[in-house]
Each structure stands twice: as C-alpha cells, then as structure tokens.
Chains A and B, each alone.
Chain A
Amino acid sequence: MLDVKDLTIEFHDHLAPETVVFDFCLHMEPGEIVGLVGESGSGKSMTALAIAGLLARHDMEKRGEILFEGKDLLSCDRQQLRALQGSRIAMIFQEPMTSLNPVCRVGWQVEEALRIHCPQMTKQERRQRAMQALADADLKDTQRVYDSYPHQLSGGMRQRVMIAAAMVCEPKLLIADEPTTALDVTIQAQIVELLKRINQEKKTAILFISHDLSLVRQLCRRVIVMQGGYIVESGTVDDVFYRPKKAYTQKLVGAIPECVRQGTKGNTGKLVLSVENVHMGFVQKRRSLFEKKRRIEAVRDVSLSVREGEAVGLVGESGCGKSTLSKVILGLEKPEQGKVVHYSEHPQMVFQDPYGSLNPAYKIGRILEEPLRIQGGFPAAERRRQAQEMLVRVGLDEKIADRYPYQLSGGQRQRVCIGAALMLKPKLLIADEAVSALDVTIQAQILELLRRLKEEMGLAILFISHDMRVVYQMSDRVVIMKDGQFVESGDTDTVYFAPQHPYTEQLLLAAGIRT
C-alpha cells in the first residue's frame, strides 16, 4: 500500500545544503503497524511529514519516491495531494493542545475533513459521523465534547479528539507522530490501546513514530530505527529489541532502564529529612463573582523520611500533588498541618526543564558561583576555583564557565543545574522530573551521574518522576502517590515485583514492566 523508496530530504536555507534524511525506505501493507524510532534530530518527524505531504517548503528538496496506493506523492500536484490528505492519509501530532485550533469548537474541527472531502453530505449526516467518530475514540458525553473548545478538555481527551478528527473519513493510513509523549503514563497506555483497536476494527495501517522504545514494543510488529537521518536498523520488534545488530541500536536498547531484581540493602544512615503528616490544600481562584470557592486537597496527610546516602523515588502522574509536596519540603510553601524537619542545611532542587532553571542572563560560571555569593565570605578566586571543580565533577569542560545557557545542549544544561545545586554541599537533593525532558541516551548518562554523586558525596536524593522505569533505576525505596496521598511505599523490589495497590499495578502495566 505504501512504498517509500530512497527518500532523501535536503534543506537549502543555510550556506551549504544540509541533508536531514538519507535514502529512507519503507514498505507498509494495509492494516500493518510500523514503528519508527529515534532520538530528537534523527529525522523521523521529517520523514513522517514528507509521507503525509506536509513538507512543502520552497527551500528544501525531496528526492526518491513515495508510492501510496500506486501513486507517487512526490510528483503529485497540490490538488491531487489534497484529495488524499484527510481522506486516505491522516495524521496526529505530539501536542494535542497546540495541534487543535484554540478558537474553534471541537465539533467543527472534527467535521472539517468531511466538509472538504464529502461536500455532498448534509449537516445532519456530518454531525452524526462526527459524533460517531468521537464515540469511537472512547470519548464519553460526546454531545458536550462536540460543543466545547479544546482548552476545556483534558490532555488525554484532546488527543482522542485529534484521533477522532483524523479517523472521521476512515483513512487507510494513520501517521502518529509522538502521539503519547505529552501525556501521563496511564493515559498513554489508553491511547496505545485505542490505536490498537482502531487498527484491528478499521484495518487502518499505522505508522507510529516515537522515542519511547517500550511503547513501540507494545504496539508494533515491525520497527525502523533512525539516527542522524539514516536508517540504522529495521526488522521485527523481537529482532531489533532482543537481537540488535548495530552498535547504536544496542546502545539505545541498553539505555531503556531495565527492571531486574537488584536485592535490597538496608540503610542505617543518619536521617536528613522527615516529613510528618503534612497536609496542604489550595482554594481555587474564583472564576466569577458568583462561583463558589472550591478547595483542592493537594497533599493529604503524608509522611516520609529520607536518610543519608539513600535515594527515594516518588512516582505519580500530573496533578497528584508531588510538585506541591516538593515545594513544601523545600520550604517554598508552608504546610497547613504537619511539619517538615531538615537535619541538614541548604536542601537543593534540580528541575525538569533545564532551559528554565538556568538564569539566561548570566554565564555558566556566574550561575555556579551565585550560591557562594549569596552565602558570602568567599573571595572571588575561591569562588571561581570551586565553580571549576564542580564543572569537572559533573563531567563538563572547564571552558563551559564562559558560555551562556543557550549555548549548551539539554544534557549539558542539566549537568550544570546539578552542579549549581551541589555548590553549597547539601545533604539532600530533590530531583523533580530531572531527566524527563531528555533523550534516552542522555537520560542514562544523567542517571549515572546522579548515582555517582550519591555514592561520592553521601547525598540523599528524593527522586520525583512519572517514569516507573527510571525511578526503578535510581531508587532504593519507592513511594507511589495518587490524588495527594501515598497509596503504596516500600523498598523498590517489593513495590515493583509484589505490588499491593491496584494503582501501582496499573502504572507497572502502563510502563510495560508487568504484562
């Protein structure tokens, strides 16, 4: 059905032409699901856009053939291409919020493909089809969804709306570009289930693009691995994942945090943090004069202790209260009830977004020195020496001290963040989703760095994440949080291999650790 031969994409907007995709080949049968895997910058999204006919910039050149049902999409004119888009080939994207038009109603957007491709349909018929499509995407209360605007829906619902809008004309090929990356794990699992069902019921072929290897493993039978614009390896999921031939694939597969029983070691270090029965709630801002104020209980009666040299994992999905808890622990917000006791000075934090946590106005050296300046009592030469030592310690070149944050890569920035947090030699470090924004291979390196620092400095780490696999790699003990409460806690192996709470089980299933 789809046959891509030697697709090469070149950009001409720089002085020298830059090739982003080299000789890409792909063959897809009707009703097949193929995974396309690679890290950021591997050219996978470019390839997907080219197949969907959405790469039409005048400063780029595409060579090769994209045969869809016998027709070459690269030599088609715009009109022929348009006739296929939305009716035979549909696409869904990573960010459902920005991919939907914010000022148009959901129903109108779902019906759009029908208005374009089936102009003979009456208004009622279109509406019926759109409702059906919404229902098929497992949306409840379709009437309300139909009439609402995108911002009134949750992230998962928005992606379902995207899927409904893509499927409304029953296309033969659905291209899904990182469709679950922006979503919570349990929602992720539901979307993957939905795609699987659509594939089985409607016989729609799916090209599934993702950086998440475990998702691809769950959904696809065949997989293509890309790096730097080239296809590194392709084959069945089992071959690629369990018998990788190329070094890069091996590295990529090796970077997936595996969950193999590690044995528990008791920790008898000194206590660095104890949280006792902390309770925290917010009064939601009123949206109008007449609305009743609503209280949201963000953290309910939570207790936790962390010892020296110990890493405690805190797992939860967005909105479970983990960020509020971390703020309370750091003293950025006062708890309403209960107390937080620190047994050491200057607990520090590493944040998710390495772009936002480094002050863009200053050079790296100045950022590292800042905590010492605030504390005072360090002469300039001493500050500089300590900053350079720290750069080496977190695995960076000393020369980086003279650069600005925007000149560094994501991984380098996160190393700087860790370094800046450690300048005051804290005993407790809170890492809030510290590796979530990074590519898998970089993720593995940062985790390695954190483990090393933990050993070297006797650091206690509270590791907050939504990613079950990463947490397993990092932690000695785990706490699972849902709706402001701890639903389960214990040492890592026990929680992962003998979960007591159904929610833990659900998370493990979604992460593909239990099957």
Chain B
Amino acid sequence: MMGKKSSTNFKVGAILTGIVLVCMAVGFFWTPYDPEAMNSARKLAGVSLAHPMGCDNFGRDILSRVLKGGGTTLLVALGTVAIGACCGIVAGAFTGYYGGIVDEVFMRINDALFAFPSILLGLVFVSLLGSGKYNVVVALGIAFIPSFARIVRSEFIRCKNMDYVKSAKLAGAGDLRIMFVHILPNVMTTLSSSVMIGFNNAVLAEAGMSYLGIGVQPPDASLGRMLSEAQTYLFSAPGYAMFPGAVLILTVLGFSLLAEGIKERRQGS
C-alpha cells in the first residue's frame, strides 16, 4: 500500500518539477516575445493563440514574462539555499561536533535569528542593503542559515555519539575526517529533504518580497512582482494574476511532492 503511494508522490513530483525546470531553462535562452516589449494596442489582451496567457497592462506577453520571471525566482531560490545550506552545514557541523561555550553562544545567536521569520529577516536585510536581485539572494541566504545550522547541529550531536564514530576515532581518524567523511554522509539524507523544503520556502519568500515591491526590481520580471501588478486588474483581467500564480503553485507543489516521495522511498528501504 505504502509503496504504491510513495511512487505516485515521487512520480507526480518529478514530472511537475521536470516540466517547470525545462520551461524555465528554455525561458532563460528563448521566449516567444521580448518580455519587456510593450505594446499599448495589446493592453490586457485576453488569451489567444498568439499570446497563450494574454498580455499585461503594458501589453507585454505574459507567457514570456512568466518564463523569464519564473527563471529569476528559481535562481534566487537556488542562490538562497546554496548560501543557507553551505554556511549552515559548516556552522552546524562545528558547533554540533565540538559543543562547549562556542556552541552555547552560537545557539543563542541562532535562537535570536530564529525568532525572526525568514521573510522579516529578509526585509531587514533588504532595508539595510537596498533592494534588487542580488541583495535579495544575500538577504534570504543569511535568513536561511539558522534553520539549516539547527538541523545539521542536532544531527551532528546525534551522530557524534554513535559507535561507528568511536570506531573511526579508535582507527585514528582526525576530527575533520570524522566530521566530513564519517558523519556528513549520514546527515545528507535528512539534509536533502530540508534543502528541498528550504528551496520551497525560498521560492515563497522571494515571491512574497517581490510582491511587496522590495525584492526583484523592474524591469526584471518575477512571479511575485507580476502578481502585485496584476492585483489592480483582478476583475478585468483575471488571467493576468492566475497564470503566474498557477506557475508558482505548480513549482512549489512539484518540489514538495518530490521531497515527500524521496522521504517515503528512504523510509521504505
């Protein structure tokens, strides 16, 4: 019973993620129209063969903007997770493995940062650094460090007392070898699903910030930004909001299903 369900989650997740990734990759190099080309004649045009998702208030092709903007959103999320996970792994590994006063101080700071929801922390950093694509990546990346550090730290604390670590110590392995050769591969399984969840949170955080107008700045397209522009024309051109929204949902849904599927597979084995 479980086996059947897990493969459905995994399959649907993989297909959705695959489609989204391929589309965004295509959008990176080629879009049907120039995403920034305005055309007042086509202002808020509905769905048609020439413009499968219609046009926005400046007459720009929504499909092209979704492709471009989705790509930006994914890249921002990728950068965020990369910064958060790398710094989080190093910080979590050292504090978890060595413990002591450094760990104590670090955890206090971590708790303090954890008290800020990531979007709020993103807002703080953006207000300090200024808005724009790269600042959003840095801001969200820093905001994501505590959660990764926390997970890695607790996994390291769990693993460092395992007998296989003691065996490695007895065979003469140094601390760095124990941390990164013996413990890290065992942490990876837990980490991989939190990376995927983190990726989702990053997509949502970026979309939220851009929606608020403090994330990715025009003329760069971003799904969140499009949604905030579309809100004014919600009644007259619902497609303007629905298409970017749907793409956002499918991206997040694909990743969460994939994460779920991977988790179930692992539990199955």
Contacts and interface: CB of A to CB of B under 8 A. Distances in A.
Contact of B170 (A347, A352, A358, A362): A347
Contact of B172 (A13, A356, A374, A420): A374
A420 B163 CA distance: 13
Interface in A364-392: 370-371, 374-375
Interface in B154-186: 162-164, 166-173, 177, 182, 185-186
B170 A348 contact: yes
A370 to B, nearest CB: 6
Contacts of B170: 330, 332, 346-349, 421
A349 B167 contact: yes
B162 A370 contact: no
A406 B163 CA distance: 15
Contacts of A351: 163, 166-167
Contacts of A1: none
Contacts of B172: 346, 371, 374-375
Contacts, number: 58
Contact of A332 (B162, B169, B185): B169
Contact of A357 (B1, B163, B186): B163
Contacts of B162: 356-357
Interface in A165-185: none
Contacts of B177: 374
Given A346-B172, A374-B173, A420 B167 contact: yes
Contacts of B182: 359
A353 B168 contact: no
B164 A357 contact: yes
A16 interface: no
A358 B164 contact: yes
Nearest to A430: B170
A359 B173 CA distance: 14
Given A349-B166, A351-B166, A359 B186 contact: yes
Nearest to B169: A332
Contacts of A374: 168, 171-173, 177
Interface residues of B, number: 18
Contacts of A330: 170
A163 to B, nearest CB: 33
Most buried by B among A348, A360, A361: A361
A406 B268 CA distance: 12
A373 to B, nearest CB: 9
A375 B172 CA distance: 7
Nearest to B171: A371
A356 B164 contact: yes
A374 B171 CA distance: 7
B167 A360 contact: no
A421 B164 CA distance: 11
A347 to B, nearest CB: 7
A424 interface: yes
Contacts of A420: 167
A172 B96 CA distance: 53
10 contacts: A13-B1, A332-B170, A348-B170, A352-B163, A357-B162, A358-B164, A359-B168, A359-B186, A374-B172, A375-B172
The 10 A-B pairs at the shortest CB distance, nearest first, are namely A357-B163, A361-B185, A371-B171, A351-B163, A359-B164, A356-B163, A374-B173, A361-B186, A374-B172, A374-B171
Given A356-B163, A374-B177, 12 more contacts: A330-B170, A332-B169, A332-B170, A356-B164, A357-B163, A361-B186, A361-B188, A362-B185, A370-B171, A374-B168, A420-B167, A421-B170
